[in-house]
Structure 1
Amino acid sequence: MAGRFAPRPTRTTVRGGHAVVPAGVPRPAGPGPGRVRTWAPDGPLDLGLVLGPLRRGPADPTFSATPDGSVWRACRTPEGPGTLRVSAYGGGVRGEAWGAGAGWLLERLPELLGAADDPDAFAPRHRLVAAARHRRPGLRLTRTGLVLESLIPSILEQKVTTGEAYRAWRLLVRTYGEPAPGPMAGRMWVMPAPRTWALIPSWEWHRAGVDDKRASTILRAVRVAARLEEAVGMEPADAQARLEVVPGIGPWTSAETVQRSHGAPDAVTVGDLHLPGIVGWALAGDRHADDAVMLSLLEPYAGQRHRAARLILLSGRVPARRAPRMPRTDIGRL
């Protein structure tokens, strides 16, 4: 994460969503050129900021930022697996895609890069938020149009450390997913299909460090995967309500999902261990703020509370740690 301060690597600062994209010169992807689309945004665009929230750890098998300045995503689209490469191109962006889902990915490239977002609707009310926004004019909220690919890793992140959740995601996708179509085959993977998730043996969840509660929640979700994916066509609040019908999915998980699937600017995360204290400290000097205090402080940003919280996270303005880190428990070794 870029910024004046050096934030500690908590899950919330990671959710600030700044993936480091090298400032290289994009080069051809190699043999087997994919389908191509170019698009010119109507304002500044920072690929690392826009697509960063989709990365689940530095070794995420579905996401890669390469030295030539490209960002790669391996996705399971409604039309099948696909790989998307995005890079700066002249005054715009170049998207190249492979696989059965290539057409779907290119059709939605502008929304993925924030075309449906309206940064100008945001009016900073605090000096820190205004400064964070000024330093990052290329911040837009991504809209993937895919629910399960954000829901499942969000479930894995429930009440565990970031490292544990990222490890589980990495192991399960590499073991049960399929190689990404195109030139990144063998280096990137597409996440498993819903039926494949449903067939993962209990001992493999355990080996990946996923407890029965989180595994059961994922299994319940993939059984109604089609109904959950339909939520993409709903307003974010209605989509959250549909997700929360599934036992084990609460406001924290549903907000984390629609922030990515819908590009929801007001879907502020509640129930988080760190976020209320970070927002409270940044806006009022209150490191002990709870959800109620956080929501009160974000009230001036109604309609844009997620964007405000994200700018606060990107500012790096976090209270000094006074308690031990959350303990890691590898149930796969118990």
Structure 2
Amino acid sequence: MTSALRRWTPEGPYDLARSLRVLPRGGLDPTCRISADTAWRACRTPDGPGTLRVTRTGAALEGEAWGPGAQWLLARMPELLGAQDEPAAFTPRHRLVYEAVRRHPGIRLLRTGRVLESLVPAVLEQKVTTAEAFASYRTLVRRFGEPAPGPAPRSSDGGRPVPLYVPPTPREWALIPSWEWHRANVDSKRAATVVRAARVAPRLEEAAAMDLPAAMHRLQLVPGIGPWTAAETLQRSNGFPDAVTVGDLHLPRIVGWSLARDRGADDARMLELLSPYPGQRHRATRYICLAGAKPPRREPKRPVGNIVGL
């Protein structure tokens, strides 16, 4: 199968692995593989399935793509990698955040331009543990997706190829039988939300060109999608620096402990602490999480996401 090529050189420092680390849903995500100098992504583009490989070569990033969606992927490769992001617009207001920025230069907020692709795994992460959600997504993509075009990346030890898969089409998501959702450990509520979203996928994809308030509103018109799910989706599809995740069971405590040693912080307290970062609250939380300051545990592990209004 023939491939197409493109080269892009970012201005200033660039961290490929940390910029794209939000793409894979776990280390075994069948749609992508990320390492320090190479990133693989299988995607269903408007032109069809495609595979993109990005490799660092000195200061430049070289992209090679395969499949019907190859040209679409290459045309948007700089956007995916963060070319439209403006990290210089961020000013640290806390020492911990300042140190995280200093120690981790080159992090950009990516922009995939594909809404449903990011929405489905976010829905699957509602009210369950991260490991359970990752396993469900992996099962469904391998069962109802299709093998990605082009070569496959090799395992981390450089051994056997690890095939990538392109996620199902919206129609394929909508037609998954109830027993297959059950086999993938997805309850009927989350399954129904995915099906509803898939049925209006063209309208949801329009959110990729909207501003943050309009995009949040568009996604939340679908029953079962609330602020948490919409923010998690738009962080990836649109690269919004202010799409802060509200409704998470862990993030408020992490922010509260990191910035004010408040281990009982709720959403309101988190937003108060993030007020020095108008328009940049999601980026601030990225650096806060990178700093690694975690509150002491007072309770057993809880599922990710919110209980209601996801």
Q: TM-score, normalised by structure 1?
A: 0.87
Match of 1:103 in 2: 71
Match of 1:70 in 2: 38
Gaps of 5+ in 2: 153-160, 305-310
Match of 1:153 in 2: 121
Match of 2:19 in 1: 50
Gaps of 5+ in 1: 1-31, 329-334
Task: Give the Cα–Cα distance (whole angstroms) in 2 for the partners of residues 59 and 186 of structure 1.
Answer: 10
2:81 to 113, 127, 130: 113
2:259 corresponds to 1:283: yes
Match of 1:238 in 2: 214
| Matched ranges for 1:157-196 at <5 A | 157-184=125-152, 187-196=163-172
Task: Give the Cα–Cα distance (whole angstroms) in 1 for the partners of residues 16 and 212 of structure 2.
Answer: 23
Match of 2:3 in 1: 34
Match of 1:325 in 2: 301
Task: Give the Cα–Cα distance (whole angstroms) in 2 for the partners of residues 187 and 109 of structure 1.
Answer: 21
2:59 corresponds to 1:91: yes
On the 8 A contact 1:180/1:186 being kept in 2, the answer is no
On the 8 A contact 2:263/2:296 being kept in 1, the answer is no
2:189 to 177, 196, 213: 213
On the 8 A contact 1:147/1:261 being kept in 2, the answer is yes
Quick one: percent identity of the two aligned structures?
63
On the 8 A contact 2:45/2:69 being kept in 1, the answer is yes
Match of 1:273 in 2: 249
Superposition misfits of 4+ residues, deviation over 6 angstroms: none
1:202 to 178, 181, 201: 178
Give the match's secondary structure for 1:293. Answer: helix
Query: Over aligned residues, Cα RMSD in angstroms?
Result: 1.4
**Counterpart code for 2:249:** L
| Alignment: residue pair count | 296
Match of 1:263 in 2: 239
**Counterpart code for 2:248:** D
Write the deviation string for residues 4-27 of structure 1: whole angstroms up to 9, x where unpaired.
xxxxxxxxxxxxxxxxxxxxxxxx
